[in-house]
A and B are shown apart, each in its own frame.
Chain A
Amino acid sequence: MSRLLTAVVVALMLPATASAACPELRSLEGELMCPTCGTTLELSNAPAANQIRRFVCERAAAGDSKGEIKDKLVADFGSGVLASPPKEGFDLLAWVLPLLAAGAGAAVLAGLVVRWSRRREPEPTLEESSASANGRADLDPALEQRLEDELARFE
Chain B
Amino acid sequence: MAAGRLKLVGQVAAIGLVAGLLVLLVWKVAGGSESQVEGLRSGKTPPAPGFELPRLVGDGKISLESYRGKAVVVNFWASWCEPCKAEAPLLEKAWRTYRDRGLVVVGVNSQDLSSDARRFAKQVGWTYPLARDGAGDILGPYAVSAFPETFFVDRSGKLVARIDGEVSEDELTTNIERALA
Contacts from A to B (Cβ < 8 Å): 35-36, 47-48, 50-52, 55, 75-78, 80
Contacts and interface: CB of A to CB of B under 8 A. Distances in A.
Given A76-B134, A77-B134, A78-B134, A35 B111 contact: yes
B80 A51 contact: yes
Contact of B111 (A48, A50, A55): A48
A51 B135 contact: no
User: B interface, how many residues as a size bin?
Assistant: 10 to 19
Contact of A47 (B81, B114, B136, B137): B81
A36 B111 contact: yes
A108 to B, nearest CB: 10
Given A47-B81, A48-B80, A51-B113, 10 more contacts: A48-B112, A51-B80, A52-B113, A76-B112, A76-B113, A77-B134, A77-B135, A78-B135, A80-B135, A80-B136
B164 interface: no
Nearest to B111: A35
A64 to B, nearest CB: 14
A1 B113 CA distance: 37
Prevailing SS type, chain A contact patch: helix
B91 interface: no
A35 B136 contact: yes
A76 B80 CA distance: 15
Nearest to B81: A47
Prevailing SS type, chain B contact patch: loop
Given A78-B134, A78-B135, A55 B81 contact: no
A55 B111 CA distance: 14
**Shortest beta-carbon contacts, A-B, top 4:** A78-B135, A47-B80, A35-B111, A51-B80
Contacts of A47: 80-82
14 contacts: A36-B111, A36-B146, A47-B80, A47-B81, A50-B80, A51-B79, A51-B112, A51-B113, A52-B113, A76-B113, A77-B111, A77-B134, A78-B137, A80-B135
Interface in B101-120: 111-114, 116
B78 interface: yes
Contacts of A76: 112-114, 134
B43 to A, nearest CB: 30
A67 B100 CA distance: 48
A55 B80 CA distance: 13
Contacts of B113: 51-52, 55, 76
Nearest to A50: B80
A48 B134 contact: no
A55 B81 CA distance: 16
A36, A51, A52: residue with the most chain B Cβ atoms closer than 10 Å: A36
B57 to A, nearest CB: 15
A36 B114 CA distance: 16
A100 B22 CA distance: 23
A70 to B, nearest CB: 14
Contacts of B136: 35, 78, 80
A78 B82 CA distance: 24
